[in-house]
Amino acid sequence: MALLRKDNDKVDVRGGAPEAALSIIAAGMHISGDVETNGTIKIDGRIEGSVLGARQVMLGRHGTIHGNLHAGEVVIGGLVDGAIVAGERLELQASAVVNGDIDTKSIVVLEGARINGAVRMQEIQLSNSTSAAARPVSSDT
């Protein structure tokens, strides 16, 4: 069963979300567990787990991720306690705090952003599995 969008563009309603899907984790929302998407995710709430497979991740200034982050393009304004693997680009806004290692092809760090970990810049092959370079950072809290 498929729906017609235009002349020959079909979307399979059983096959999952389209690639350009936007998911929003609003302020006050708390998710425990890993989040997987192939679209874009905007996070203003809190995730206790990893974010995997996203095309784009936008973490608002009050958003937090306590886990690893694997995505194509990442913009961070909040707190990440874990490793970040950005296949294409990582932008750390002035309010960003990253407690973990970073692997990316390209990085932009605005004045005021904090990185507590190693930064490696190289070609990245994204996968949904956690690599040795993307292990979470243990915290003392």
* Residue 69, both tokens: 């982050």
Is the overall model pTM greater than 0.85, yes or no? no
User: Does the pLDDT of residue 126 top 70, yes or no?
Assistant: no
pLDDT value of residue 5:
46
| pLDDT tens-digit map of 51-83 | 999 999 999 999 999 999 999 999 999 999 999
User: Does the pLDDT of residue 13 top 50, yes or no?
Assistant: no
| Closest to 92 (Cα-Cα) out of 116, 65, 110, 69 | 110
Paired strand residues for 79: 64, 97
Q: How far apart are CA 49 and CA 122, in angstroms?
A: 25
User: Does the pLDDT of residue 16 top 70, yes or no?
Assistant: no
Task: Give me the sign of the Cα torsion angle 78, 84, 88, 94.
Answer: positive
Q: How far apart are CA 18 and CA 79, in angstroms?
A: 28
pLDDT value of residue 123:
80
pLDDT band at 21 (very low <50, low <70, confident <90, very high): confident
Considering the chain, what percentage of its residues have pLDDT values greater than 90? 71
Alpha helices in 60-129 (DSSP H): none
